[in-house]
Amino acid sequence: MRSVVELQTWVTRSEDETAHVGRQLTKQLPQGSVVSLEGTLGAGKSVLVRGMAAGLGIDPESVTSPTFTLWQTYSGTCDLHHLDAYRLRNAEEFLELGVEELFQQDGLIVIEWGEKVRRVLPTEHYRVTIEIDEDSHRRIVLLQQTES
């Protein structure tokens, strides 16, 4: 049976605070984790990824939007695979990128707009949802989907 549990919630008031949550996540999530980032345009998904990069010793400035390239890998204390499903029409297009192979590897895999491709993600994965509460406030929730 599939279950989704809420692990943690943060409310951030600035870009820096959200980046800090990203940093913290890299300390918390095990190697090989698949993380789906879910939230509207401008919610802070890319900001969070830059924080994760910093947590892995990768220059956050080097993390660009993978909206056009769809997939970028950075190497730090472990690999950071950054994907963006925004421009994909369906989950099949996501599979055609060769992601199944990626799911077998170590490193951290983060997918912006992961909800679009959820049905082809490994059953066991994490979700980070980001909601805009007020102008600069973001409610960030970490969830874990498991199969038991």
Ligand X SMILES: Nc1ncnc2c1ncn2[C@@H]1O[C@H](COP(=O)(O)OP(=O)(O)O)[C@@H](O)[C@H]1O
Residues that bind ligand X (CB under 6 A): 12-15, 17-18, 39, 41-47, 112, 136, 138
The distance of Cα 82 from the centroid of its chain, to the nearest Å, equals: 7
Length of the chain in residues, anyone? 148
12, 46, 129, 145: which one contacts Mg ion (CB under 5 A)? Answer: 46
Q: Which of residues 97-126 bind Mg ion (CB under 5 A)?
A: 112
Q: Residue 52: which of 40, 62, 67 has the closest Cα?
A: 62
Pairing of strands 137-147, 125-134: antiparallel
Does residue 33 bind Mg ion (CB under 5 A)?
A: no
Taking contact as CB under 5 A, which single stretch among the options 16-24, 39-47, 53-61, 117-125 is the one that binds Mg ion? 39-47
Q: Given the complex with ligand X, which of 124 and 131 has the nearer CB atom?
A: 131
Shortest CB 24 distance to Mg ion, Å: 19
Contacting residues toward Mg ion, per CB under 5 A: 45-46, 112
